[in-house]
Structure 1
């Protein structure tokens, strides 16, 4: 395993080197900033890998390297798109890595001791899920952002997802009767309700996937999954009937070419970009990402495919799949129900988010405005992704202190 880890780490360094070398020569004169980016990112990866190897050799270090590769792909593309955006993302990456290491190093006695804070997690869930409903601003049809002054903003639902998974992990860890499912069921419905009111379809899909997975893992009852699917379908139909924004999303998805000059412009340009890239791409700097809207976040997968090719797009999906596999593997080997459910929920959250946004920009499902984990620009998204990763990394170490009944 150590040899494989070294090989993957070397491949990441080579990818970063040739990527930023290419970007440096795109500038006239040669852009030295590309070299600074290469140095900072390789140093971050090297230091983090060394810390994990020295202090936690039994943990699954492949989890971090897979995320590092995804971050590398994303930041190279962001550097190509807009220098200032790339600088901000690099800053968020540094903060995310520091937070990742802090959680991994600080939680020396494991995570199970936090299972007693059930109602703290419940309060956090309601607070962050509801926040944008009352004080949020509408962007691209969804009211899921909260502004801080005139410059900064964040998506409260990103934090709400983490609190919801923490809450469900505590509430479902000792399920022995149907009555015990009433409270978590109500909390899930309330969270989904706020996402519908905010017209945040992507987050609603993620919450549903996470909740159904965790309920099934806690109960092993297929009936609950079927009931959840029925309720979600009913809620979806009601939302479709009530909200014009949701009807437009489905209209665009079903007939994108009929509305190519207005409502479906973003989706059609996204599909054009993917098609123009072919298997191997047009080359960094050779595409036309300016035609793709919100290309630094929601549609970054499209511009990656245009300039780096469908093969790189497939690589992004494979990396997310491998990250999900290694994370679920950690959940399977967790020593108690709380950490098992927590790790599984976080793993499904990351995987579902990747599938939903890639499915949206390629036209397989209705388009939703969420980010591609570890790849898209976005401070909130990147920090939450690394927070989830730090918890998964901690569970993979297998040293969780006192255990509960499993």
Structure 2
């Protein structure tokens, strides 16, 4: 029987391709974003210094989501081999833009993070997070035939780097192509956003683990990272002082009773926990949040707590499951790839999205210090939503090629090669 999805010219064009479950998750998160932003921006709307209404912020978020959906549709139609070719220039451009923001960017809360483009504030560190995964996937894929024999961490005896033949080989084969790009990304993001640098490090570390980098080398990397974090707090490098202050506040909430503290002295984390308590199992109802006027950024940094207050723990757990589901769908897509680059790309991007969501959620219940991470695709914002959409579009692109069996298989790139 003839397949009516095909024509004489070829397969029929489909707008939404790739993993259908992932598309459903994206659509669900977008709907939740509209609900959260519309209700949580009431404080901004009734601010004495602005005449904007909640409808204004709703239209703004709908415009952002619509634009990002268009971008996602476009990205999912691009073959992953194109991403392989673009990995290096996109990475270098993202590094330059992230560095440039410190010189001509817009500052807020003591950190330079945005480049103004008309009325839009572009955050290049969000682009760099995606670009680092893209570039690292390419670097790891190109070395799969010998990756388990490569050392990536040079000796701490830096004076031997030039004189020792072995150290020069480590730098040539592992440090420069694999380790340095990840470290550069972390270092240029670190002065403005410590948690984003940590997120890049975590995703890159897991990518290297899956990409068969020697485990002993990865543990050395963890030790070096811990040393850098401790030194940054001791000497107030970058936002080390801010990170130390947030850690002290977090520890104080766990070690001292807060029952006698007046509400005006509560931290946003404490207010978020009150919001979660108020929400209970079923929530207060849409638009009925009492804590939204008390939090500084209920529409972004504490969107999850605000959602719990209005819609309850049951739906909040469902939202958490959606983010975990993204990662599990990525694992399934990865298993079907067979080649290193698209597989590592999918897992790295999914890791970033899921880990960012988990960091945001853990802050709201005071499991970790405040990070400033938004809730992907739900929190109000432009750059975060845009590059999350690009990342999801890339994952869908790989999934589409799995279905079409259109991946090429470059020599030495199979991730299952031993």
Compute the TM-score of the two structures, normalised by the length of structure 2.
0.78
Match for residue 64 of structure 1 among 20, 23, 30: 23
Is 1:255 matched up with 2:230?
A: no
Deviations 1:53-106 (A, max 9, x none): 96389831110111111111121121223322221111011111111111223x
Give, in angstroms, the shift of residue 385 of structure 1: 1.2
- Structure 2 distance, partners of 1:312, 1:323, is 17
Is 1:291 matched up with 2:294?
A: yes
Match for residue 115 of structure 1 among 72, 84, 88: 84
Q: Is the 8 A contact 1:292 1:303 kept in 2?
A: no
Q: Is the 8 A contact 1:129 1:160 kept in 2?
A: yes
Is 1:74 matched up with 2:80?
A: no
Is 1:164 matched up with 2:94?
A: no
Give, in angstroms, the shift of residue 274 of structure 1: 1.0
In structure 2, the gaps of 5 or more residues are: 1-11, 41-53, 152-169
Give, in angstroms, the shift of residue 260 of structure 1: 7.4
Q: Which residue of 2 aligns with 1:324?
A: 327
Q: Which residue of 1 aligns with 2:166?
A: none
Is 1:212 matched up with 2:205?
A: yes
> In structure 1, the residue corresponding to 2:113 is in which secondary structure?
strand
Q: CA RMSD in A?
A: 2.3
- Structure 2 distance, partners of 1:260, 1:381, is 34
Q: Which residue of 2 aligns with 1:186?
A: 180
Compared CA separation, residues 103 and 274, structure 1 to 2 (3 A): same
Q: Is the 8 A contact 1:277 1:307 kept in 2?
A: yes
- Structure 2 distance, partners of 1:57, 1:102, is 10
Q: Which residue of 2 aligns with 1:134?
A: 103
Give, in angstroms, the shift of residue 263 of structure 1: 8.0
> Would you tell me which structure has more helix in proportion to its own residues?
1
Q: Which residue of 2 aligns with 1:379?
A: 382
> In structure 1, the residue corresponding to 2:95 is in which secondary structure?
helix
Q: Is the 8 A contact 2:17 2:396 kept in 1?
A: no
> In structure 2, the residue corresponding to 1:144 is in which secondary structure?
strand
Q: Is the 8 A contact 1:75 1:89 kept in 2?
A: yes
> In structure 2, the residue corresponding to 1:234 is in which secondary structure?
helix
Give, in angstroms, the shift of residue 403 of structure 1: 2.0
- Structure 2 distance, partners of 1:263, 1:163, is 40
Q: Is the 8 A contact 1:239 1:246 kept in 2?
A: no
Matches within 5 A, 1:7-406: 55=14, 59-81=18-40, 82-105=54-77, 107=78, 110-148=79-117, 151-175=119-143, 176=146, 177-178=150-151, 179=170, 180-183=173-176, 184-198=178-192, 200-241=193-234, 242=236, 243-256=240-253, 265-288=267-290, 289-397=292-400, 398=402, 399-404=405-410, 405-406=413-414
Compute the TM-score of the two structures, normalised by the length of structure 1.
0.80
- Structure 1 distance, partners of 2:407, 2:316, is 40
- Structure 1 distance, partners of 2:213, 2:183, is 20
- Structure 2 distance, partners of 1:134, 1:188, is 22
- Structure 1 distance, partners of 2:16, 2:94, is 34
- Structure 2 distance, partners of 1:152, 1:97, is 17
Instruction: Please say which structure displays the higher CA radius of gyration.
Output: 2
Q: Which deviates more from structure 2 when the two are superposed, residues 126-135 or residues 248-257?
A: 126-135
